[in-house]
Amino acid sequence: MKRLTLIFAGLLLAGSAAAQSDTPTPSGGVQVWGGVGTEVYLLPTLSLGLSADVAQLPSGTLSVRGTASATLIPLPDVTGPIPVVGADLLFRGNRAGLNVYGGPSVGTILGAAWLLGGVVGVQGPLGQGNWGYFGEVKARYLVVPGQGVFAPGVNLGVTYRF
């Protein structure tokens, strides 16, 4: 956990140094995503993600995003948040300003279940700096041993591009 904290702190410091430069920040690169949302219909969730652009195409950009989230289940016999880790393959437009993105998504509730499906969202800048916002809808299928259930959700949050 300490190693992960040090990596995120280093990335934030590098992003701050880039933000103070006179040269414009490129549209590609590494991005931190943080937000609140729902999982499996209405269960409250806090999420953190890190994405990196892997290919620049004429009509858009292909990115890989890793996520970690904590889902709260308001039941007396549940003793804490449920951890979920996942990965998304995202395709987004290259326009300045608001862009639509989407792609396949896979996740796991740490050995207990799988989440398979997709995500679609919008992302835009907050002013002229590196900060931005996003809103997305998840349509995934929760697969547990012997059964499965449709598990949609939403996320709203902020991004920081390095």
Running DSSP on this structure, what letter comes out for residue 110? Answer: T
Residues 6+ positions from 36 with CB-CB distance below 8 Å: 44, 45, 46, 47, 155, 156, 157
Residue 28 pLDDT = 56
Residue 162, helix vs strand vs coil: coil
- The tokens describing 158, both together, are 């902020």
- The tokens describing 55, both together, are 């290919």
Residue 19 pLDDT = 37
In this prediction, residue 128 has a pLDDT band, given cuts at 50, 70 and 90, of confident
Residue that is written with structure tokens 């999420």 in the block: 47
Express each pLDDT in 88-103 by its tens digit: 999 998 887 899 999 9
